[in-house]
Structure 1
Amino acid sequence: MNPSAATILSSAQLDDKGHAQLQALLSAYTALSEADKHRQKGSHVSQAFAVCFPHHSVAPGASGYESQRRKPWSTNCWLQPQVIVSPSSAPQVATALALCRFFHVPFSIRGGGRLQIPGFTSNEGGVVISLSQCNQVELSDDKSVARIGVGLRWLEVYRRLEAHGLVVAGGRVPEVGVSGLLLGGGISFQNSQYGLGAMNVCNYEVVLADARIVHANAHENSDLFWALKGGGPNYGIVTRMDMRTIPNQIWAAVQIYPPTASEQLLDALMHYHEAIETDNKATLIWNATPQFILIVFVYCAPVERPTVFAPFDEIPPVATFVPAGVRSVYDLVQAVAAVNEAEPSLHEFRTMSSRPDINVYRAIQKAHAEQAEALKEVEGLTLTAVIQPMSSLAMQVSANSPLGLEMVGQQWFLARADWKHAHDAERVRQAVRSMVDAAEAAAREHGVYLPYKYSNYAARDQNPLASYGERNVRRLGEIARVYDPDAVFQVLQNGGWLLADVGV
């Protein structure tokens, strides 16, 4: 059931003039025939948002529209919405959502970061609710909790916490946004000690479909609290996440190796998998292109030359991207951000998981080389194989979530492509699919395959929510029906990892 005009008028924060304008608009639209509503909906939607958000709403042709339309990271997500609105508080988000429901217009929720799937953060002819103005970072009196606006990117979060000598278990890539990362679970530097990023959220502020603003934590709406730790945008619009703060001093290094060292590096990687089963402070990120292998080493304590990384010490790098040393998380992420951002590109991700296995890694390496050779004439192409080792310790401290993680050491593989022209998209997507298919085939052959698919690494056709397991999916659906009985987020929301697409 859509909200009435009276409900919207009572909640909208308008002066007398704005109130009268909005009342006239809503009344005029209500009086139209269904055919006229269909023809005139776009005009009425634009006018209503302009009245309610005079300085934070743009429509096609307006100053600032093009720059907002082109905000998404991947150029295939530069769509043509009817309105892009940037509310700055939960009550304003509630008004924006109520207007979408009143006009029955599709909407997309856009956080602060990046996502490569068309329709998830924008749409054609609907409304984009951009959370970029939800950008606060506030510490509790005892500095144990950081209240973080979901429109921020992680580099900015870390910058604001740096002065206090604190950090949170958030993202590792500077331009990744707060909400997208954490609503998908969220890999952090501190996985083994504190769990995935979502496990460190102690409270969510959420705008529900009926425009109520609620908090979800261990004591209030605890079922919703559980669901949001990986359940995506199925329950409401999260406007703030409160996260426990943790110490900021780490040891880190980023080294670049030649492809000729790959066998030595894979051997070291298998030893590393064993070592992190008894050391909960280490993180390693493996990024391979046809030209080099870049490895990020992080130890979440100020310890020089941690022994957990010793298997790599005998392999000489060809370059050092970040020198080994004790630093803050902000310093490390800032060093990554200092690299010039490439020109706007198209992007494709695809993922799979398995227990650690050298045969899977060799299959990835072989398929990676074959696909890179097959696509060598594609302009601007970078084809990357990313391996994320995850310990059983990380799984254990992330167990109270909907993700359905198995309590074993594992790796989450990401095949990633970045390229320039849309006409190459199908070939590139097929190459990425072939890399993951090869990894899955090897994993099944050697008995190490795991069904889990990390949603932030998933391709548009992979349906990661289904990988959480039947029991968890059923519970996620039951919780969604409690907080969104009219299925607004399944029907009107334009995209995202939705329970409706899992058949719930």
Structure 2
Amino acid sequence: MTRVKILGIADPAEHRTCDGELGPKVWCWSDNPLSHACYFLSANLPSKTFFPNSTVFTYEAGHFWSPTLILSPSCIVRPTSATDVAKTIKAIQLTNTPFAVRGGGHMLVRGANSIDHGILIVLSNLSRIAISEDRETVQVGPGLRWSDVYNYLLPFDRAVVGGRIGNVGVPGLLLGGGLSFHSYQYGWAMDNVVEYEVVLADGEIVRVGEDAYADLFWALKGGGANFGIVTNFKLRTVPSIKVLAGGVTVGEGDIDLLFQSLAQFISRNKDPLVHILPQALTPDPRQKSVTLTFFYDSPSNATPASVVSATPEGLHSSFSVTWEAYLAALPELYAAVPAKALVSVAVYWQPIMRLWMEASKATNPVGNALGLDPDKGDYLAWAVVVMWNNTAYDEVVMAWADDTTVKMNDAAKEAGVYDGFKYIGDAAEFNDVFGGYGCESREKLLHISRKYDPDRLFQALMPGGFKIGL
């Protein structure tokens, strides 16, 4: 049992001192570093540190996109400033305590945004947002979700290159890439970050931009949470007055024709205003359909694109082989999990065209860490997403999703259309995300990580998520 006395109430001659730069002295009877850290933070951030059975703890510990992501931290810190984050990091470093950081809590990898028996830093209260006088940039806190940002900018007829789902958190998407409806015009969401405020592993607060900490500026564009805790993003805004959006669904008999048309569109489209998102929904063995969501960044009523019957073989094959591998795996899921427990079973494809990659380079000449090469042609990423309502099937469903992803990858390899790139926002826990960026990018990320985090705090003490390596 840990007991703590604050401000020298305990006799310093009898007990060792937990002393540091964070605030008042804390006299400790425990050698448990986790208890030491939680109570140390409670002494120095008393209104921002929470323990089990408190209302705030209960809310924040369970505030995730999926119940499968909920873990059991020992205490939660909810900072309201970069200085609070810096104090927390210094306490973690001082006590060598495991921790996790949560922004929106949407990342699907268990342990990426919470922790068992460690400190959970939640960024919920870092929610400042402010547009510049010229309306060209906006300051966005990591506690916000994309719906918050879009709603704030709406009266200004501005938008940002951000997430396509409103309840997704800001920080994870911006640090991993960022699929956006505007990506064919402006590249990835991360390409549109012009400055970061970051708390480094030693607790230093720095502003990172193209001309200050330029190497870190590059690494934060796709390197994930391996370099520090971002406490503010300065984003470029874009004009947005009216858009067109809609969708079409085709049944099983027309799916291959749709894949042919999609392949043709992806390879030939030159219109950066259009964005498409194909997704296959398979709620039960008898129902197979593909829905195509359209977005067009214009108030005109012109059709976003036209397609012809000729088919680029590689892209058509990419759609077809992954679809067939997915379908072949479905009976196993349906046999193991009753239909009433399955809310949604789907596969999403994300075309990443040359147009997208060219826009990325034009918007962000510094480049990013993803390692995508427009000279290799168009890319097609995919993700298997299952929603279910009974925790009894957690292990079965997650194992099936992982196994099906492997089978889809194997099918792509056999067809000769596989590429090692994995988008971090949709990657499975077993994926080698940074290996998929290519050797050059991975080594550069590792070098930068070691430069700014020589003691490897974000690699060794923050165990969740995708790691660069020691």
SS in 1 for 2:355: helix
Counterparts in 2 of 1:355 and 1:489: CA distance versus 1, 3 Å: farther
The equivalences for 1:399-478 within 5 A come to 399=361, 400-407=367-374, 408-478=377-447
2-structure distance, mates of 1:135, 1:256: 38
Contact 1:385 1:414 in 2 (8 A): yes
Scaled by the length of structure 1, the TM-score of the pair is 0.81
Q: Which amino acid aligns with 1:300?
A: D
Match of residue 257 from structure 1: 250
The equivalences for 1:172-183 within 5 A come to 172-183=164-175
SS in 2 for 1:138: strand
Question: After superposition, what is the alpha-carbon deviation per residue over 1:333-391, rounded to whole angstroms, capped at 9, x for unaligned?
Answer: xxxxxxxxxxxxxxxxxxxxx99522232222223333333222514222211011111
Contact 1:356 1:410 in 2 (8 A): no
Aligned-residue offset at 1:158: 0.5
Match of residue 466 from structure 2: 497
Contact 1:481 1:487 in 2 (8 A): yes
Match of residue 187 from structure 2: 195
Aligned-residue offset at 1:259: 3.2
Match of residue 48 from structure 2: 56
Counterparts in 2 of 1:306 and 1:280: CA distance versus 1, 3 Å: same
Residue of structure 2 aligned with 1:368, choices 326, 331, 353: 326
Aligned-residue offset at 1:116: 1.8
Match of residue 31 from structure 2: 37
SS in 1 for 2:178: coil
Contact 1:355 1:450 in 2 (8 A): no
1-structure distance, mates of 2:439, 2:57: 42
Q: Which amino acid aligns with 1:124?
A: D
Q: Which amino acid aligns with 1:496?
A: G
1-structure distance, mates of 2:300, 2:218: 34
SS in 1 for 2:55: coil
Are 2:137 and 1:168 aligned? no
The equivalences for 1:12-411 within 5 A come to 22-23=24-25, 25=26, 28-29=27-28, 36-38=30-32, 41-248=33-240, 249-276=242-269, 278-290=270-282, 291=287, 292-308=289-305, 356-377=314-335, 378-379=337-338, 380-381=341-342, 382-399=344-361, 400-407=367-374, 408-411=377-380
Q: Which amino acid aligns with 2:255?
A: S
**Which structure 1 residue ranges, 5 or more long, are not aligned?**
10-21, 313-353
SS in 2 for 1:385: strand
Contact 1:113 1:175 in 2 (8 A): no
2-structure distance, mates of 1:455, 1:109: 16
Contact 1:195 1:398 in 2 (8 A): yes
2-structure distance, mates of 1:373, 1:99: 50
Contact 2:326 2:408 in 1 (8 A): no
SS in 2 for 1:383: strand
Aligned-residue offset at 1:448: 2.1
SS in 2 for 1:182: helix
Aligned-residue offset at 1:451: 1.3
Contact 2:247 2:294 in 1 (8 A): yes
Question: After superposition, what is the alpha-carbon deviation per residue over 1:421-480, rounded to whole angstroms, capped at 9, x for unaligned?
Answer: 444344323432343334333332333221111111101110201111111111111111
Contact 2:277 2:293 in 1 (8 A): yes
Aligned-residue offset at 1:45: 3.1
1-structure distance, mates of 2:410, 2:66: 29
Q: Which amino acid aligns with 1:384?
A: A
Q: Which amino acid aligns with 2:179?
A: I
Contact 1:113 1:178 in 2 (8 A): no
Contact 1:363 1:438 in 2 (8 A): no
Contact 2:186 2:359 in 1 (8 A): yes
Q: Which amino acid aligns with 2:163?
A: G
2-structure distance, mates of 1:205, 1:167: 21
Match of residue 11 from structure 2: none
Counterparts in 2 of 1:221 and 1:297: CA distance versus 1, 3 Å: same
Counterparts in 2 of 1:6 and 1:439: CA distance versus 1, 3 Å: closer
Counterparts in 2 of 1:355 and 1:397: CA distance versus 1, 3 Å: farther
2-structure distance, mates of 1:50, 1:257: 56
Counterparts in 2 of 1:414 and 1:215: CA distance versus 1, 3 Å: same
Please identify, of 398-407 and 467-476, the stretch whose mean Cα deviation from structure 2 is larger: 398-407
Match of residue 19 from structure 2: 5
Q: Which amino acid aligns with 1:468?
A: Y
Please identify, of 48-57 and 445-454, the stretch whose mean Cα deviation from structure 2 is larger: 48-57
Aligned-residue offset at 1:309: 5.0
Q: Which amino acid aligns with 1:395?
A: M
Counterparts in 2 of 1:371 and 1:445: CA distance versus 1, 3 Å: closer
Question: After superposition, what is the alpha-carbon deviation per residue over 1:85-138, rounded to whole angstroms, capped at 9, x for unaligned?
Answer: 110111111111111122221110100241222211111111111011111111
Identity of aligned residues (%): 31
Scaled by the length of structure 2, the TM-score of the pair is 0.87
Counterparts in 2 of 1:216 and 1:451: CA distance versus 1, 3 Å: same
Contact 1:356 1:409 in 2 (8 A): no
